[in-house]
Amino acid sequence: MDLEMLSSDDSACCTTDDETRKSHHSEKTKKDLITRLNRVEGQIRGIKGLIEKDTYCDDVINQIASTQAALNGVAKLLLDRHMRSCVVDRINEGDLDVVDEVLITIQKLMKK
């Protein structure tokens, strides 16, 4: 399979300037990520409110699980964009170290 075919039109491109790594996401991707994070932020505030109101523990735990799932959704979207752009670009440039980097990142995500 040609790795260039995996790159999407909505992809981000990770760059390294002066040893600082950055991502450049499309406006659509940024909007989606920010919308999801705003939702997670609201869920966190809601959990805090439940605890302040002495809500039944099981109900609070269910809200925490929902919030974790939403945050995992943000991570999945970022990983998808990263794989389809930054990783493909670096492999096409002959930089295979990116594979180890991605595997470490996936291991960190799976610990949770």
CA dist 108 → 8, 62, 72, 75 (Å): 25, 23, 12, 11
* Counts of helices then strands in the chain (DSSP H, E): 4, 2
pLDDT, mean of residues 16-32 = 80
HSE (side-chain half, CA atoms, 13 Å) at 105 = 14
Residue ranges of domains in the chain, CATH in brackets: 28-110 (1.20.58.1000)
Which pLDDT score is estimated for 1? 37
- pLDDT digit string, tens, across residues 28-64: 999 999 999 999 999 999 999 999 999 999 999 999 9
Cα 2 from Cα 83, distance rounded (Å)? 14
Predicted pLDDT of residue 23: 81
